[in-house]
Amino acid sequence: MAVATQSLEELCINSIRFLAIDAVEKAKSGHPGLPMGAAPMAFVIWDRFMRYNPKNPKWFNRDRFILSAGHGSMLQYALLYLAGYDSVTIEDIKQFRQWESKTPGHPENFMTAGVEVTTGPLGQGIANAVGLAIAEAHLAAKFNKPDAKIVDHYTYVILGDGCNMEGVSGEASSFAGHQGLGKLIALYDDNHISIDGSTDVAFTEDVSKRFEAYGWHVLHVKEGNTDLDAIAKAIEEAKSVTDKPSMIKVTTTIGYGSPNKANTAGVHGAALGTDEVKLTRSNLGWEYEPFVVPQDAVNHMRKAVERGAGYEAEWNKAFDAYKAKYPQEAAEFERYISGKLPDGWDQVLPTYTAEDKALPTRKHSETCLNKLAAVLPELIGGSADLTHSNLTEIKGKGEFQKGQYQNPNIHFGVREHGMGAICNGIALHGSGLIPYGATFLIFTDYMRAAIRLSALSQAGSIWVMTHDSIGQGEDGPTHQPIETLASLRAIPKLTVIRPADGNEASGAYKVAIERAKQNAPTLLAFTRQNVPNLAGTSIEGVTKGGYTVVDSEGTPELIIIGTGSELNLAVTAAEKLTAEGKKVRVVSLPAWDLFEAQDAAYRESVLPKAVTKRLAVEAGTSFGWHKYVGTEGDTVTIDRFGASAPGGVCLEKFGFSVDNVLAKAKALLG
C-alpha cells in the first residue's frame, strides 16, 4: 500500500498517526492506544466540523470533543498541536507520558488546555459527554431567544469497544436516548480489538441495535480508515437529526498501516517497535523523520486558529447584541460563566436553635437545596430514582425532559454510575452550572469511579447522599453503610461532610456550593432518621471541619468526638458526665479534610495533644478514627455489617446509645 502522493488531508491524518507512533516509540510504555484507525474520524471532526478557538481553549461556545477511549491520548495531543493550541508543543509530544509533561498517559483536563474532561477509565468519557450535552441543552433552553442563539454547540465523542462494554456507558447512553439529546454525536471506533485480542472472545453483541433500542439515531461508516467523505456525510446526517443523539459506527482497522501488527491486539498493548515503525513508514509512504510534520499539514490544520478567532468574534458580536436586547439575561449568563456566586447568596441558609423541631438531616438538605435554588438557578440535578427518599426535588421548577430542558430537576433513573459521570460532565462544561446527584450513601459503591474522577478532574459536583448509617433500618445490610464514609474520606480532594443537625446541614451546603464554584466536589451524608438540633452547632464550625460544640470548664479530661446523628449522643453523654463532675469536651468533626486544612494552632485548640482520653462516636467503621482517638482512645463504632430492623433498633443494638457512650467514656476516665 505504498502511497506515492498524498492528498493534503491524508498528509494531516498521517501526521497525526506518526506523531503518535513517534511519541509512543520514544516513551516505550505499554497500552499506548495508537490512533491509526481513529485518526481519520478525528481529523474529519476537527477539520471539517468542529468550531473551536485554539488560542482560547475555554471559549464558551466551542464544540466539545471527548476522547472517551482515553488510552489513545496521543490522538488528542497531536490534534491540539496541529490545530495550534499553545498547550501542546512538539517538545511536549516528545515528553509523552513523562513526569509533569502536558502529555500524560491519558487525557487530563487539569494538565492540558483543550482537553475537556479526564478519560482513561473506560466509559466515563461518553457519560461525561452526555453531561456536556445536557449542559448545552439546559443553557440553550434557558438563555437563547428566538432571535439570538448564544448557546449552540455540539458535543463530539470518540469511543471504542472498551467504552461500549462498560455498564456506565450503557446507563448514560440509555439516558441520553431518553432525553433525545440531538447535539450529542458519538463516533464508535469499531475495530474489533480489545486488549485480550479480538472482541470475539467477549463482545459479540450488536452495538448498533443496542443504541437503536436506547432511542439513538444510528449510522454506519464501513470504511473508516480512508473514506473521509463517508465519515463527513454521516456527521452531516447526525446533525440533521435534532431530536435524538447520533451514534456513528465507524469500522476501522486497529494499527492501520502497520504491515504486521494491524488488526492485532499487539498494537493495542505495546509500541510497534523500531522495525515495524520503519515498515509502517514505508507502507504509508511516510518519508519524514520522527517528530517531523510536513509544513503543508501544519499550515492546513492551523487554519483552525483563524477560523477559531472568527467564530469567537462572531459569537462576541452576537452576545453583544443579546446583551443590548436582553440585559438581565445577559448579566445572569455572564455571572454563570464567570463562576461567581451572587452577593449574599448564603444568607438564605437557615439556622436553628435547640428548640427547633428534630428532623432528619435529609429534610434539612431539602430545605437548603430549595432555598439555594431560589438564588442559585445554576443548580441542576436530581436523584437516581430516589427523589422522594433523598428529598432532592427543587419544588415548583419542573423536570428536565426532552422539550423542557430549561428545568433543573433531573430524573436519572436507577443509574448511579451514569448519574455521577453525567454530573461531572455538567460541571466540566465550565459554564457555572452546579450539578448534584443523589442516592443512598451505600450506593456510592456503584458510582465510586465517577466520584473519584470528580475529585481528580476538578469537577464541582455535589453528591447528596442520604440514609447514611444503620439508622437506615429495615432495608438491611445491603443498604446500610458501614465502611462507606471511611472509604470516601480516603479519596484525595473530596470533601466529605456528615452534618449533625440543621445548622450543620446549612454549613455543609455553604461549603459544597463554594467548592463547586472552585471546581471541587463535595459529598454530603444525611440521615434518614430524625435528629435533634443542638445548641453548639454552627455553619462556621462546619466550614472549619471540626470545632468544639460543648466545652468543659478548664482543660478537659476527656474529649468525645461525634459526627452526624451521633453528635447528640456525645452531647447528652457529656452533659451527664459533667453533672457527675467530669470535665468533658464535645467536638463535632463533620469534615475531616477541612479540619486538617486548618492551621496547627486551631487544631490544637480543638483537639489538644495533651488530652489523650478521646472517644469517637460515629455509626460507621472505626477504620481511620485512630488518627483522632490515638492509641489511648476508644470508639463507639460498628465494624461489622448491619442488619434489617427498624433504624432505632439497629442503632440501639449496635451500641449507639447514650448508655454505651457513657460506659465507654467512663472506662476511659478510669
Is 519 among the residues that bind a copy of itself (CB under 8 A)? no
**Residue 244 or 281 with smaller CB distance to a copy of itself:** 244
- Of the candidate spans 43-51, 240-248, 383-391, 538-546, the one that interacts with a copy of itself by CB under 8 A turns out to be 383-391
- Looking at 213-221, 234-242, 320-328, 529-537, which segment touches a copy of itself (CB under 8 A)? 213-221
Q: Is 395 in the site for a copy of itself (CB under 8 A)?
A: no
Instruction: Note the helical H segments in 358-415.
Output: 361-375, 387-390
Burial 51-61 (b: 16+ CB within 10 A, else e): bbbbeebebbb
5 counts as binding a copy of itself under rule CB under 8 A: no
We find the least distance from the C-beta atom of residue 412 to a copy of itself, in angstroms, to be 6
> At a CB cut-off of 8 Å and minimum separation 6, what does 507 contact?
349, 497, 499, 538, 539, 540, 541, 542, 543, 590
Q: Based on the number of CB atoms within 10 Å of its own CB, is 33 exposed (0-12), middle (13-18) or buried (19 or more)?
A: buried
Q: How far apart are CA 556 and CA 297, in angstroms?
A: 73
Residue from 55, 149, 307, 448 in contact with a copy of itself (CB under 8 A):
448
Site string (31-60) toward a copy of itself, x via CB under 8 A: x-----------------------------
* Site size toward a copy of itself, by CB under 8 A: 115
- Which C-beta is closer to a copy of itself: that of 99 or that of 554? 99
Closer Cβ to a copy of itself, 377 or 642, answer by number: 642
201 binds a copy of itself per the rule CB under 8 A: yes
Grid cell listed for 558: 476527656
For a copy of itself, the closer CB: 356 or 483: 483
**Shorter beta-carbon distance to a copy of itself: residue 79 or 491:** 491
Decide: is 387 part of the binding site for a copy of itself (CB under 8 A).
yes
Candidates 108, 189, 276, 366; binder of a copy of itself (CB under 8 A) is 108
Q: Is 439 helix (H, G, I), strand (E, B) or coil?
A: strand
Grid coordinates in use for 71?
A: 488510552
**Residue 394: CB minimum distance to a copy of itself, A:** 14
Shortest gap between Cβ of 431 and a copy of itself (angstroms)? 24
Looking at the annotation, which residues are catalytic? 416
Does position 106 interact with a copy of itself (CB under 8 A)? The reply is yes
Q: Is 101 in the site for a copy of itself (CB under 8 A)?
A: yes
Residue pair 341/514 in contact (Cβ under 8 Å)? The answer is yes
Minimum CB distance to a copy of itself, residue 424 (Å): 13
Q: Of the candidates 37, 57, 105, 245, which one interacts with a copy of itself according to CB under 8 A?
A: 105
618 near a copy of itself, judged by CB under 8 A: no
The answer to whether 214 contacts a copy of itself (rule: CB under 8 A) is: yes
Closest CA to 27 of 103, 83, 84, 81: 103
Question: Within positions 489 to 518, which residues make up the interface with a copy of itself, using CB under 8 A?
Answer: 489-493
Task: List the one residue from 149, 203, 356, 582 that touches a copy of itself (CB under 8 A).
Answer: 203
Strands 246-251 and 217-221: parallel
DSSP 552-607: -SSS-SEEEEE-GGGHHHHHHHHHHHHHTT--EEEEE-S-HHHHHTS-HHHHHHHS
| H/E element, 426 | helix 416-428
**Scanning residues 270 to 329, which ones bind a copy of itself (CB under 8 A)?**
none
- Report the site for a copy of itself in 149-188 (rule: CB under 8 A): 161-163, 165-171, 174-175, 177-178
Which residue shows C-alpha cell 486538617? 596
Which residue, 112 or 503, is less far from a copy of itself as judged by CB?
Answer: 112
- Residue 122 contacts a copy of itself per CB under 8 A: yes
Site for a copy of itself in 215-274 (CB under 8 A): 215, 269
Compose the 453-492 pattern: x for residues touching a copy of itself by CB under 8 A, - for all others.
Answer: x-xx----------------xxxxxxx--xx--xxxxxxx
Whose Cβ is closer to a copy of itself: residue 86's or residue 474's?
474
The CA-based angle 487-394-476, given to 5 degrees, is 40
CA distances from 594 to 191, 545, 612 (A): 47, 4, 22
Give me the count of residues in the chain. 670
**What phi and psi values does residue 286 have, to the nearest 5 degrees?**
-105, 105
Residues 327-356 that bind a copy of itself (CB under 8 A): none
Query: At closest approach, how far in Å is the CB of 562 from a copy of itself?
Result: 19
- What would the grid cell of residue 100 be? 509533569
Q: Is residue 603 a contact point for a copy of itself (CB under 8 A)?
A: no
Which parts of 144-206 fold into alpha helices (H)? 161-165, 167-179
φ and ψ at 276, to 5 degrees?
A: -70, -30
Which residues of 223-289 form beta strands (DSSP E)?
A: 246-251
Q: How far apart are CA 255 and CA 252, in angstroms?
A: 9
Q: Which residue, 307 or 493, is less far from a copy of itself as judged by CB?
A: 493
